[in-house]
Copies of this chain bind each other. A is one copy, B any other.
Amino acid sequence: MGAPTLRGVYETVLYVADLARAARFYAEELGLTPVPGLGGAGGAFRLADGGMLLLFDPDQSAAPGRVVPSHGAHGPGHVAFAVAPGELDGWVERLKRRSIEVEREIAWPVGGRSIYVRDPAGNSVELIEGEAWA
């Protein structure tokens, strides 16, 4: 029997010490849609393609005895979000208006283009139009 297939990533996690502050960033600055379910234990956001971004305080999510297995990392993580073709320049304008510093811009050899910002916890957040990978 061949391997059954993993269709995609359903939940991507970032760790943040200040949940409320980070949740405001992803909702207000990046326009993600909050989804209930974690209460005060974290932040959950639904992306347009059905995937989820989850925010956790690592000291809380690493506690033993949870309903779900424990996890929790310290230090800056990384996530990249796909933007629609032609929308990256609009994102650069939007971030500039909101005084969010674009740390770097990269044009990828395979044709895609990325910008990078930091969330309030220091995680590296990339917005990419097109492809960075072969």
- Residues of B with C-beta under 8 A to A71: 75-78, 123-124
- Within 8 Å CB of A46, what residues of B? 133
Copies of this chain held together in the complex: 2
Q: Nearest B residue to A118 by beta-carbon distance? A: B69
Q: Is A63 part of the contact surface with B, judged by Cβ < 8 Å?
A: no
Cβ–Cβ < 8 Å partners of A53 in chain B: 9
Known: A9-B79, A11-B78, A15-B73. A4 touches B126 (CB 8 A): no
> Given A6-B32, A46-B133, are A72 and B76 neighbors across the interface (CB < 8 Å)?
yes
- Cα–Cα distance between A44 and B68 once the two chains are bound (Å): 27
Distance of A29 from chain B, by nearest CB (Å)? 9
**Which chain A residues have a beta carbon within 8 Å of chain B's beta carbons?**
1, 3-13, 15, 30-32, 35-37, 44, 46-54, 56, 58, 61-62, 67-84, 87, 90-91, 94, 103-104, 106, 116, 118, 123-124, 126-128, 132-134
